[in-house]
Structure 1
Amino acid sequence: MSVLDEVARVDPLGVLSGFRRDLYDCLEARGDELFELVDALLCTDGPVKTLVELSLAPEHRRGHGALYGGLNCGRLDVARLRRALTGLALPRAADGRIVLAVDVSNWLRPDANTSPDRLFCHTYGRGKGSAQMIPGWPYSFVAALEPGRTSWTTILDVIRLRPCDDEIAVTAARIREVVQRICAAGQWTDGDLPVLVVMDAGYDVTRLAFLLADLPVELLGRMRSDRVLYFPPPPQPPGKRGRKPKRGPEFKFEDATTWPAPAITTVTETTRYGLATASAWGQLHPLLVRRSAWADYPEGELPVIAGTVVHLRVGHLPGDRDPKPVWLWWSRCDATAADVDRLWQSFLRRFDLEHTFRMIKQTLGWTAPKLRDPTAADRWTWLVIAAYTQLRLARPMAEDLRRPWERPARHGRLTPARVRRGFRRLHRKTPQLTSAPKSGTAGPGRPAGSKNRNRARERPVGKHSKTDTMKVGADRQAP
């Protein structure tokens, strides 16, 4: 049963109306303004280019000053909104398993010299090897993936990474809280299949597996093609004296001569990638050393984090006739042929999250506002997620208001942008929770000709400690 059929079994309008009530209850200060801002975001025609233009939408009954006042001075109960998102029906794989994806998307702010907590964000250029590091705010998302090829995901959590944060530790804490909320909401019970968490090569999947070993989760992540892992040490021959070796033979991803015969090999014919060949080796672990993340590990031997390595090679990719192989690491060692096929297919579903990032950036205008305060940016990010969630809940009721040059969409195949076109019709059927705006006049503002004597100070960019932050602040305030 598809996700759309699962949602259609219940009253979709009731579910949408219930989430809108939960969202309104989460807005603790300036709730009417923030709620109407979300409605304007959903009902505006075309992509959002600037934030102030949302105040011109009919659903936004307040002025542009109230719009910025709500973002800068409003208050949102994030914990309650997270529980509301987790309480909605979650998509599941064909075997009933919940599949989560973790990834980072950057809100680039290269010219915001007075905005704090900026980091150097990795961005890809158009040409090969033209990546750049641009200042901005990186946000880590956790979303549930749907089965099959789709442009929809279910965003469950997001957090902004700060300069002093350990990205892996923060990601582990986010995954732990999401899984705990899933269990508390009754979405996972004892006896269900473990939750699969998928991530790309930017994460240390082995360390995450160690930090989340007490949870009912499996971790699947891509590894760089230059990694070296190790097999377990061979058994000690009888009668041999001396120290037992700590690790076994090397397994170099770039050197095929170090690969023994794979334990499992599967071949699958696909319509998009041609012939997909997956090979798997079990009981492989990385070499850990006492530096970086493992510098503070208690005295004694470092842990051995063993898992299964999957080597995936496909016949072709769109626009690439000779694609490079993909190396995956799974946090369990008892893989079967069915598990190998399930793993690499689940990893390909991770790229559906890229469609979500493109939707919230290019259509909903997530990174369009020029906000100075990162707290206001966090508030706006959660409002965009709330708007995207309402689009997902309205999917069974949406009409295909296609352009004359567009092809008709099949049932259940409407994209988020097409659902948004007809949301204004659905908006009239949902409860209107905000109160009427109060009449008022704009303030006088700063007198003409006067200078701004409270200039914002510039902020450093990149990783730094608390001591460095205090020192930089003292230097900039010195006469």
Structure 2
Amino acid sequence: MSLLDPAGHVGSLAALSQFRTDFHDCLTGRADALFELTDAVLCTDGPVRTLVGLALAPEHRRGHGALYAGLNRGRIDFERLRRTVAGLPLPRAVDGRLVLAADVSPWLRPDANTSPDRSFCHTYGRGKNEHKMIPGWPYSVIAALEVGRTSWTALLDAVRLEPGADAAAVTTVQVREVVERLMSAGQWKAGDPDILLVLDAGYDVQRLSFLLADLPLELLGRLRSDRVMRRPTPPRVYAPKGGRPPKHGGEFVFGQPDTWGEPDVRTTTETSRYGTAVATAFDRLHPRLTRRWSRPKLRSPEAADRWTWLVIAAHTQLRLVRGLAADLRRPWERPAPPNKLTPARVRRGFRNLRTAVGSPAGAPKPTKAGPGRPPGLKNRRPAAVRDVGRVLKTGEPYSRPAHHKQGTKPRRVSD
């Protein structure tokens, strides 16, 4: 779609205007302040480095006090906003199926000792071969993927994982609700190809596939390189000395190719970009069971939830008009066709498109700044210091082992 296509241009602007109206209706408390904060995110050039800096954008006609009041005390009808986003046109694969991806994105807050409900988040790439646990708010995000090499996704949902939460259980409920909303919106009907759900190595694909077996889903997940799987139970053979028959077959260790054996299926495909691609499949393997953008400095996790959904609404608006934005590229950037612009480039021209659809937010009322705390007066109500929780797959609260406590010796436990 280009600016030379009047019908498509008008249609995209109409879709953007309708979504902006629906989004404003989802803001049930301090709606105008939250809506103009979203416009400031869309129209400000460059990354959002400070939250208060958004109050200087021309699209945010209110003061910085209204900005923080909207995030801290505003209200958003999240369920209505989720249904609105699910009803928008979504990208599909070549065969017409929906491809969803789920992942956990941490909002790191290591120095926010007064912020509640923080958990230890697993982070990568913070040092050479180092994976550190840093306090923050982890969010489980689900998005619809596009085909080909692109940085565009359709964000559908975001849920904050509370300390002690069972990540698999939360993901199961989240995926189930997303699929049900897509079915209610007519995005999937009986007879359509099953929805493909792509998962990273941090998810227990086997458990999720069992919990979501009643939905039209196919799960595709990565497995960690240190996983150990078991082969099917071998046929029962009479043993003269008796004994209990085995419950599992031999081990399949990912890091030891000598334990793999011959694959059940092997395919070879010639690709134009990566050369020869070889895929191998092993049937009936199961896990071995053992015992055992922008991050403003907000204090409240509820305010973090509101900010997260404001960003999702902003990203959705960029997706609706991605074919209409002009390529306002930097002198050192390569030209790109209109349908290949990244979200960052579309955001550069959103300020020009915003004037064509208007804003449902009302004009601010004239007022004056509050008195604030008098200079030299100490804060008599300091914020409480919060402990950091931990998200465990088992759903059990984390407790430090006794032998890790100072002044105690390790104790051996017999099998």
Shift of the 8–272 alpha-carbon distance from structure 1 to 2, 3 Å rule, reads farther
**Mapped partners of 1:146, 1:11: distance in 2:** 21
Q: Does 1:407 align with 2:334?
A: yes
Paired residues in the alignment total 390
Structure-1 residue corresponding to 2:271: 270
**Could you report, residue by residue, the CA deviation over 1:149-175 in whole angstroms, capped at 9, with x for unpaired residues?**
100011100011110211111111111
SS in 2 for 1:283: coil
Structure-2 residue corresponding to 1:23: 23
**Mapped partners of 2:10, 2:367: distance in 1:** 43
Shift of the 10–59 alpha-carbon distance from structure 1 to 2, 3 Å rule, reads closer
Q: Does 1:377 align with 2:378?
A: no
TM-score normalised to the size of structure 2? 0.88
Q: Does 1:213 align with 2:140?
A: no
Q: Give the C-alpha shift of residue 85 in structure 1.
A: 0.7
**Mapped partners of 2:83, 2:214: distance in 1:** 22
Q: Give the C-alpha shift of residue 79 in structure 1.
A: 0.4
Q: Which runs of 5+ in 1 are unaligned?
A: 293-360, 469-479
Structure-1 residue corresponding to 2:116: 116
Q: Give the C-alpha shift of residue 229 in structure 1.
A: 1.5
**Mapped partners of 1:202, 1:36: distance in 2:** 37
**Could you report, residue by residue, the CA deviation over 1:104-139 in whole angstroms, capped at 9, with x for unpaired residues?**
111111111000011112222354322322111111
Structure-2 residue corresponding to 1:286: 287
**Could you report, residue by residue, the CA deviation over 1:278-319 in whole angstroms, capped at 9, with x for unpaired residues?**
111111111335x45xxxxxxxxxxxxxxxxxxxxxxxxxxx
Structure-2 residue corresponding to 1:69: 69
Q: Does 1:394 align with 2:395?
A: no
**Could you report, residue by residue, the CA deviation over 1:255-283 in whole angstroms, capped at 9, with x for unpaired residues?**
22322321221222334433221111111
**Mapped partners of 1:237, 1:180: distance in 2:** 47
Q: Give the C-alpha shift of residue 231 in structure 1.
A: 2.3
Shift of the 453–278 alpha-carbon distance from structure 1 to 2, 3 Å rule, reads same
Structure-1 residue corresponding to 2:140: 140
User: Which amino acid in 2 is paired with 1:139?
Assistant: Y
Structure-1 residue corresponding to 2:79: 79
Shift of the 65–141 alpha-carbon distance from structure 1 to 2, 3 Å rule, reads same
**Mapped partners of 2:180, 2:126: distance in 1:** 40
User: Which amino acid in 1 is paired with 2:132?
Assistant: Q
Structure-1 residue corresponding to 2:357: 430
Q: Which runs of 5+ in 2 are unaligned?
A: 400-415
**Could you report, residue by residue, the CA deviation over 1:230-274 in whole angstroms, capped at 9, with x for unpaired residues?**
222233469998755322232222222322321221222334433
**Mapped partners of 1:384, 1:436: distance in 2:** 22
**Mapped partners of 1:13, 1:452: distance in 2:** 49
**Mapped partners of 2:360, 2:232: distance in 1:** 61
**Could you report, residue by residue, the CA deviation over 1:425-451 in whole angstroms, capped at 9, with x for unpaired residues?**
110111321111101112222233322
**Mapped partners of 1:387, 1:174: distance in 2:** 21
Structure-2 residue corresponding to 1:33: 33
Aligned identity (percent) is 63
**Could you report, residue by residue, the CA deviation over 1:184-242 in whole angstroms, capped at 9, with x for unpaired residues?**
11111111111111111111111111111111111111112222212222334699987
Shift of the 8–145 alpha-carbon distance from structure 1 to 2, 3 Å rule, reads farther
Q: Does 1:128 align with 2:128?
A: yes
**Mapped partners of 2:388, 2:139: distance in 1:** 16
Q: Does 1:246 align with 2:173?
A: no
Q: Tell me which moved more, 240-249 or 220-229.
A: 240-249
**Mapped partners of 1:225, 1:467: distance in 2:** 26
**Mapped partners of 2:272, 2:10: distance in 1:** 34
**Could you report, residue by residue, the CA deviation over 1:39-61 in whole angstroms, capped at 9, with x for unpaired residues?**
11111122221111111111111
Q: Give the C-alpha shift of residue 466 in structure 1.
A: 8.0
CA RMSD of aligned residues (A): 2.4
TM-score normalised to the size of structure 1? 0.77
Q: Which has the bigger relative contact order, CA under 8 A and spacing at least 6?
A: 2
Q: Does 1:104 align with 2:104?
A: yes
User: Which amino acid in 1 is paired with 2:121?
Assistant: C
**Contact 2:16–2:320 (8 Å) recurs in 1:** yes
**Mapped partners of 2:330, 2:91: distance in 1:** 30
